[in-house]
Chain A
Amino acid sequence: MSEITGTPKRNWNWRIWAGFALAAAAFLSYGVVFIRFPITRDVPWLNWLLFAGAGWLLWTGVRRARQESTVYHGKIAGPILMVLSLTMAAFFIIGTNYFTKHLPASKEAPKLGAKAPEFALADTNGKMVTLATLLSEPMPEKEGAGAKPRGVALIFYRGYW
């Protein structure tokens, strides 16, 4: 078509697509990769950097499509990809800020100096275990070879791993 009318063929606006891909990577990489390392998990600065890079690519790409519409494609695709990327960024910010901090206050949890509440729960072999047995039973060979425990660390976690 361009050959017939004589207008030069427009270039592919790679920036808007690269920006969108980078935003998707920024969104997905946190849960898959960076969540494993406290240095990138506690504060997701690396993902924010990736989103910032994506934003710059999208912004310059959209601008190109508008100001140089005879040279570049993407006048419609650009803004759409930008909105999609902003949506991902918004979900990411909400997910890593509101959702992770929206926890019960647990005001009645045992405090320093309090007696730890007793419990009776099944271990991975189905055997019933109480706090008293954990504190009195000699340690298994691997950890302390028969010594009485100095204490016990109770680690409550969310589960569903």
Chain B
Amino acid sequence: MGISVDMPEESAALCKKAGYTFTFLSDPNAVAIRKYDLLHAGAGVNGHDIARPGEFLIDSGGTVRWVNLTGDLKVRAKPEELLKAADVLP
């Protein structure tokens, strides 16, 4: 599921435009973003705080099984990488 600082309406518009069916959550005050230490202060439009990209695969017990923190905004996790990581989940 996707998490960003976008408001629910903005995420809903994105889902509709891109055809996503998975859950999108809104974190406009970057509360969860801070808990996951992904805050990128002032990097958004008008100096707004946003998240730096980060992907986590969490198992049914709540344990982190895979983490991807890119060092370069241009380079993101490929879908195959995430699917491969998900294969090891019981």
* Interface secondary structure of A, over-half rule: loop
Count residues on chain A whose CB falls below 8 Å from chain B CBs.
53
Flag B18-36 by CB within 8 Å of A: 1 or 0 each: 0001111111000111011
| A109 pairs with B5, CB closer than 8 A | no
Select which of A43, A99, A149, A161 is within 8 A of B60 by beta carbon.
Answer: A149
Q: How far is the CB of B4 from chain A (nearest CB, A)?
A: 3
Give the residues from 27 to 71 in chain A that come closer than 8 angstroms, CB to CB, to chain B.
Answer: 35, 38, 41-44
Given contacts A106-B37, A106-B52, A151-B65, contact A124 B24 (CB under 8 A): yes
Flag A109-125 by CB within 8 Å of B: 1 or 0 each: 11111111101011111
| A112 pairs with B43, CB closer than 8 A | no
Give the residues from 137 to 161 in chain A that come closer than 8 angstroms, CB to CB, to chain B.
Answer: 140, 142-143, 148-161
The CA-CA distance from A44 to B23 in the complex, in Å, is 32
| A106 pairs with B60, CB closer than 8 A | no
The CA-CA distance from A96 to B1 in the complex, in Å, is 27
A126 in contact (CB, < 8 A): yes
Q: How far is the CB of B72 from chain A (nearest CB, A)?
A: 5
The CA-CA distance from A78 to B89 in the complex, in Å, is 61
| B25 pairs with A129, CB closer than 8 A | yes
| B51 pairs with A112, CB closer than 8 A | no
Select which of B43, B52, B86 is within 8 A of A150 by beta carbon.
Answer: B86
A131 in contact (CB, < 8 A): yes
| B74 pairs with A154, CB closer than 8 A | no
The CA-CA distance from A154 to B90 in the complex, in Å, is 18
Residue of A whose beta carbon sits closest to that of B41: A104
The CA-CA distance from A124 to B76 in the complex, in Å, is 24
Q: Which residues of A contact B (CB under 8 A)?
A: 35, 38, 41-44, 96, 99-101, 103-104, 106-117, 119, 121-126, 129, 131-132, 134-135, 140, 142-143, 148-161
